[in-house]
Amino acid sequence: MDQTFQLAFRLAIVWAGGFLIAVAIRALLPNQAGITLTGHQNTLFIPFSRIGFWTCIIAALTVTFLVVGRAMLADIGWNSFR
């Protein structure tokens, strides 16, 4: 049970940090700066603020899946990765 609380605490810290960094990036970067992708018929403008925001969210998801996956593997008895 102690490991479950430790895991939950670590995940909460990662998600809080990810959201704080994502919000800070979204607030600091201007919406006019970004990447323009040009296709045959349309152009798509992606602001750097959105790229930074989604990068932080995807990083938090990745860390969550890695930590939960490691905990699940440890629960079934596979400890060779420690």
pLDDT tens digits, residue range 23-45?
787 777 776 777 788 888 888 88
pLDDT at 82: 55
pLDDT at 62: 82
Report the SS3 class of residue 38.
strand
- Residue ranges per structural domain of the chain: 2-75
Q: Are 18 and 59 in contact (CB under 8 A)?
A: yes
Considering the chain, what percentage of its residues have pLDDT values greater than 70? 87
pLDDT at 1: 52
pLDDT at 8: 75
Residue 71 DSSP label: H
Q: Are 66 and 11 in contact (CB under 8 A)?
A: no
pLDDT at 77: 73
* Mean pLDDT, rounded, of the chain: 76
